[in-house]
A and B are shown apart, each in its own frame.
Chain A
Amino acid sequence: MSSRTQAAGLGAVELPLDVASIRADFPILRRTVRGGEPLVYLDTGATSQKPRAVLDAEREFYEQHNAAVHRGAHQLAEEATDAYEAARGAVARFVGAQFDEIVFTKNATEAINLVAYAMSNAATAGEAAQRFVVGPGRRIVVTEMEHHANLVPWQQLAQRTGAELAWLPLTDDGRLDLTDLDRVVDERTAVVAFVHQSNILGTVNPVDVIAARAAAVGALTVLDACQSVPHQPVHLPSLGVDFATFSGHKMLGPTGIGVLWGRPHLLATMPPFLSGGSMIENVTMAATTFAPPPQRFEAGSPPVAQAVGLHAAVEYLERLGMPSVAAHEEVLTAATLVGLQEIPGVRIIGPADTVERGGAVSFIVDGIHPHDVGQVLDDRGIAVRVGHHCAWPVCRRYGVPATTRASFGVYNDLADVDALVAGVRAAQSFFGVAS
């Protein structure tokens, strides 16, 4: 174990999680890549790997319980419905929410679009939906560090409704600049959409400060929690926001399932986004009334097997304990920040220490394009993300075309950090920019 507990500049460090036993649960981590290199997976920010428990749960559902949910009265239909709804309960418990406050979607992007489109639909959805109406003279506020998923839907909402788009800028050290918070989030503001933990900078934002200002002007708040819920204990109802979204595949669960959490009084009056089967109360040839939430927002066949897989993922994380997960990833992040910054010519894009930041570490290697850094790392079996990370405005803000990003999961240890640091040095040597 000693080789696994030595990291650049940190000496011997105890990791909170037993990585050896965790890694045994993830079959993919045993494979090799690029001609025999052991896989060093540092791209969990893009998508996490899946433990066997998640894969087994999906297979068991299909082999033993598969049926259409919320319809039919046969035994399998009951079992499938129970499995689907039990997943809702597990996810609710995981983020401190009530059962009916959890809506399953295709992914987090769809969850954000659900709210944005519900807001455009509100104009023609009657008196009860007035709370959601936006239009000329109103303002939609985002931040400059949003993933495209929490930027483009709001740009589009502004375009559809004639509302104005405004945003909170960034400081040079990778944090939100809240100097003008009161001026940007003004009395006209209808909604403030912002990220909990940046997928590119790693920054953890002061949700309470922004939510309090939004509440003071009567604006709705939508939190992108895709990078926080998988990596730290998150109790959504205490954050002060109205809606939050996250995705299954980034938290050891399957692809094809995302989550929208909303305050019950808001879900109760919010008009639907997608319509069709499963979301109705009563249908005649002329008109339809809608089911109460969460069914109102789950039109069509839901992602049942994915929900079952996500249920297993949530239980897996609960067994590890989210405080331990967060502490574990903080050690890895600290080691990475130290190790990379010891290399001349390497620059962190984002906070340079672990204060209010999570385990996504973006960096620039002077003289080598991120694609080329990534290629050298890939040649050594190290999987990182290169590019603009679906946060192009962040790259523009810091004057870089792209970054290389390492991000961590429960299965990473300090040997992975060492491999990354050695790989970056190898890239410098390969391209002849070593100092």
Chain B
Amino acid sequence: MNTGPETVSQPLPEPLVQRPGSQATLVIRGASVIDPVTGIDGVHDILIEDGTISEVAAAGSLADDGVEVVDGEGRHVFPAFFDPHVHLRTPGQEYKEDLETGSRAAAAGGYGGVLAMANTSPPVSSPADIDALRHRARSEASVPVGFLATVTRGMEGRELTDMAELREAGAVGFTDDGVPVTNPGILRRALQYQAMCGGRIALHEEDPDLSAGGSMHEGEVSMELGLRGVPSITESVMITRDAAIAGYEGGAIQIQHLSAIESIEAVRRARADGVDITCEVTPHHLCLTDEAVRELDPSRHKMNPPLRSEDDRQALIGALLDGTIDCIATDHAPHAVEEKEVPYEAAMMGVTGLETAFSALYTELVLPGTIPLPLLVEKLGCGGIPFGIEPFRIEAGRKASLCLIDLEAEWTVGENGYESRSRNSWCAGRQLTGRVLMTLAAGQVAYRLRSFSLGVA
């Protein structure tokens, strides 16, 4: 996908970095393999040698000459997922999450790569910040991590960051996520500059004057609870504005965490006009509505954008099915207990999602027949494309980035704690079906469910 003409002279660094580790050698026997990219859909043996997939063969055909055998029978193997929108909180808010715990949470959810947002403390605004994060990721990240930099210095919305140097340092894109780029003149300049340095700009779309003081979706539930509402149009007016700017400048934008019908329509209109616009949706917006807010539990149900109406949720599912929405992104947003164990209006916004995304969507949307399993696997896997990162594939010769999942396993979220440092999961206490047993990320075993016994030859 187009991320702008590549006119930066030197080659850009690898977008993703991770901790080096021992490369896996194992065979997964007899698992149902679904890979939407290569088109595989059947029972196979997969041999991984020294971190690389060396053979994808008919079930039972691969010998187990001394290598570890993973019993895949009755289980599924998918290419590892890729999340283009997570908050790993480093630097500055390591009490919520850090590169190690956040990447472990990703691995536990079947993810083989994530992109970290830049609204840290301080925000990621300089090439040195990117350098430092990539350096730390090389010693702490159990799955490959890419970093976005802010569009404006310190996310203050006034001055552009050194976008070209940030790209040279390894920034995969730009975002002021957490807050919108309110000044359209600044966004225009950033999109002009993008034509030179590349790097899609990911936008948190929210008109702050329309959303001011709001803590949930504006509708009947907010009326009854006496909570100030955030109207749906808060999002769509900004999408419409920014798509017009991107169209005018020929820029590439990613609309983050789409939540409302009006937003979907704005994206469709922009795309019909030829704008290079991509968009994401979160698992919680696909599964929950503002009715959940009646419980007034901010730990599970307070986030930005807020949970919206059932009509919005159905429209998001429709947009996922018809391709309007490009990918699923968790917006994994860890917060400490003391930031969430307060009244709803006073609580921080955001929920964690990496460890439960697949299971929740499988339980809520695939099992009832709302969306097909291969589509879910595809939409969880293709989130890197807008940033120039191809989905993982199950194909001989590729580094092994895949997950092994038991689609029949039932589990209760949080019963054995979380890999994340925080526990503000929107799924906390839910019984889900489908569980990640093992994740390989760039050749390394990044996660094994502890209670999952592996047969060793």
Q: Do A and B bind each other?
A: no
